[in-house]
Amino acid sequence: MQQEVIIVGGGMVGLSLALMLAKANIGVKLLEAVKYPNYDDAHLAPYHSSFDARNTALSRRSVQIYQKLGLWSVLQEYATPILEVHITEQGSFGKARLLAEQEKVESFGQVIENAWLGRVLLTQVRQQPLIELIDGVHVTSLKQDAEYVYIEATREGEFIHPLKSKLVIAADGRDSFCRQALGVGVNIHDYDQVAIVTAVQTSKPHRQVGFERFSPLGPLALLPLPGECRRSVVWPVKKGTEHEWLGEENDQHFLDALQQTYGDRAGKFIKTGKRFSFPLSQVLAEKQAVGRVILMGNAAHTIHPVAGQGFNLCLRDADVLVRFMQEQLSESDDIGQPEMLKAYEQARLSDQQRVIKFCDAVVRGFSNQNPLLKLIRNTGLVAFEVIPGIKPVVANYAMGLKA
């Protein structure tokens, strides 16, 4: 009998996981609260609540996962490689660089706009016979016993037929209904920041270089996009100040602030797209495996975007979970065995905790403008540049190859 899993949440993590499971010959019912768009124009990728204005820096490991799924040849059309990474702090002497050529890799990763990544994933899911896509559905109840998980849901206010499965994967976001229904608590840290996200055009080509620039306003990430002078901007600023950076009337004000913070490395900041804002907090579930339910993606761990590690961590989680499920199916027909899910959770803790602690430490460390701490930070950046053996270790972790 064909095994079937229910995934609640059809964002980029849910769609990717569904495709991984289908490739492993495991059937999927994928439930998504928001109606998906119909892509009538091959040259457009309209924003959707799950595929918004943000961009994703896919690590080398994430690229390998999509290659294994047979998707990279399609995704590559919309992606730009990162050949160098520069890390600096405004008004300070320290700087560090990572070069793909020196680390003997073709790139550190690839930057892709979420709207295009979502479009490709959704198109592939719609073509996969092992995946039943059910959108516009709101889960209203999740319960389980020793054998099954039971889900009740509504569509356009009407109850749909109850669903059950040996395994439910909850990938329904930071404010996960499933997590709450399971009674799983969370540890929350509000960074008191809001990320300003957009794309800009500069007078100088990006040459596939990514920049992380720490400033008193917040850590500015500038990453290359398709088109030689297009760059993505992710700029966390203090909560409550975001209004001065949003809206067409503030276009020039935003460009001027970028210029002042970043300097002339990119030449002149010529044009900005519409800016969007996203509140930033760390939300960590106290448990990820509860009976026959596993928490995945932001439902399990939502982290700060400072090092671009969040989605990559989620993809590694999904990849490992599918391997555990395949091993389980080789021995038993119980695909949602609670002991297997607990073993998966334990296996992922080291990688998860390392990434979570690193991102949190970077945010806290570079947010403090104490002169002594600034000196220590910049001395560290200089040490990173000159001490042998450090760069390959950091590069491998950034590429997701040492998980």
At residue 202, does pLDDT exceed 60?
yes
pLDDT confidence of residue 42: 64
Q: What is the CATH number of the domain that holds 124?
A: 3.50.50.60
Rounded Cα distance between 302 and 391, Å, is: 27
Q: Are strands 301-302 and 79-82 parallel, antiparallel or unpaired?
A: unpaired
**Does 72 map to a domain?**
yes
Average pLDDT of the segment spanning 56-82: 92
Residue 17's pLDDT is: 98
First to last CA, the chain: 34
Classify residue 387: in a domain, yes or no.
no
For residue 24, what pLDDT band results from cuts at 50, 70 and 90?
very high
Query: Does the structure show a pLDDT above 70 at 345?
Result: yes
How do residues 103-115 score in pLDDT, each as one tens digit? 667 777 899 998 8
Q: Is a pLDDT exceeding 60 seen at residue 138?
A: yes
Pairing of strands 168-170, 163-165: unpaired
Q: In this model, does residue 139 exceed pLDDT 90? A: yes
Answer whether residue 136 is part of any domain.
Answer: yes
Number of domains, the chain: 1
Answering whether pTM is above 0.95, one says no
Assess if residue 377 is contained within a domain.
no
293 part of a folded domain: yes
Q: Is 283 left (phi over 0), alpha (psi -120 to 50) or beta?
A: beta
Predicted confidence at residue 153, as pLDDT, reads 95
In a domain, 376, yes or no: no
Confidence of residue 229 (pLDDT cuts 50, 70, 90): very high
pLDDT, residue 161, reads 84
Residue 49: pLDDT over 70: no
Rounded to an integer, what distance in angstroms lies between the CA atom of residue 100 and that of residue 209?
Answer: 10
The answer to whether residue 374 is domain-embedded is: no
pLDDT at position 220: 81
Average pLDDT of the residues of the chain: 85
Per-residue model confidence (pLDDT) at position 48: 62
* pLDDT tens-digit map of 305-329: 876 788 999 999 999 999 999 999 9
Please give the residue range of the domain that contains residue 106: 4-365
The per-residue pLDDT for range 207-218, each reduced to its tens digit, is 999 888 877 766
Query: Has residue 394 been placed in a domain?
Result: no
